[in-house]
Structure 1
């Protein structure tokens, strides 16, 4: 607990509420970080369908690569291509017209589409190699694994499969269909995770951006009706943090989330920074994530590693574990 509290205090002093925080809503409103994928805070607050979907498409990119690398990819995609990647109506219309049965439904794109890249790094498949579908084009645009090209179309088909016109409608449907904020949160997370490459981590990252009151400059639009304390983002940096704390439990996502929540229950955030919720696992997790994320910390002048004598002033309980010091 001494380690967790010290790292949380470090994060709250250095990064929380700053433009340099990573994986939070302000990052997705900054063109300097995510390029043409950036949306305005007001558009998200108003639950504008295009803005909500654009941020979700961008969020799915943040897996298995360093954040700074993914942001570089996002900044390299032009405005017209971003519009194509993030328009639900355009994606669904193209899927209907392209002539491939695999992209007509969510089940089809999940189970029948065998999209990949060929030796020339172009999108291809065995099912319908002659069809010039958007997933093939998106496989190139997104500069990830070939099958990543399915992500935007699958997200649009996922909404259609749930009978939702947009993500705000999907949220309202989960709230209306369940009897508690906890059940609604689980319902919404499960719905998002039915799409291609949307994992527990990606859904938690996206949903916490819109619902966690301590990660939003003001009041997050999705706070009401959902148990936002459910969503913590567990990645390789958080795993390093948990290992350093002494976590030796099961490796499932749920088990690691439960451990983060148990730690967070013993940290009164209100006493550390005025205005915060006393219990907020996402803040404690974010602290561990950023502390262990050497690449993100090196990319900003805000980090204490850029200050002369900072290591000597840092509490010894955490200075020995600092990845930049090592």
Structure 2
């Protein structure tokens, strides 16, 4: 009889413990629900994406557009906004020209049914329009944005207005891509200088001489050029261009070039030298200014 009472007591204690545990669990659940309801939701951090952009800037004479490729890693989810932001920053290649004043803000940018609507702030009007080819700025924006697969046309606005460029260009309707304003290929100063060095390395002095600017040719005829440049050409056969920088000035550029000696074996010590070469833009081509 005593054992039966003891078993009943155990059962009562176990049941009581279960009731207490269940009550505690329910209380915590309600507390957590109340806590979560009072928390400010945290917006998810967007993943960064890698964009390969094709941006169009003015050539050295501002009469055509040329492409500058740029890789950007950004958390911006709208590629079109990133493109316009990079256009405002301007070209990295210092021989190219930008059209949009850096103070310009993007008020809004949205793409609806293949048309990208870009609303600029009034600062975009601060450019000296009469000193450049005015419509290049417009096509710079249109052609850069239409590189995006889902954008077929661009509607440009300034402070919400379409008629601000009426004296220059009609923007009442969306504009489609214009291939006529693009250059096939831009020959950069480093392209020109690299070709000049290759001509010297292969003893093609006639072609190298043709790459000189007008003033250099007036000061030095071909015979003297060949005599003077001969030793330099022999030396350069053992070197290659390792790195370079482009410095822009009023009438041209200066290339700061790091040459590295072409090694024959691993045991050979690396030999480097730095030179500065000036180039000017003549008749649509970059020309070498021969140091005197």
Same fold (TM over 0.5): no
Greater RCO between the two (CA within 8 Å, min separation 6)? 1
Larger-Rg structure: 2
Bigger share in strand: 2
Bigger share in helix: 1
TM range (shorter): under 0.3
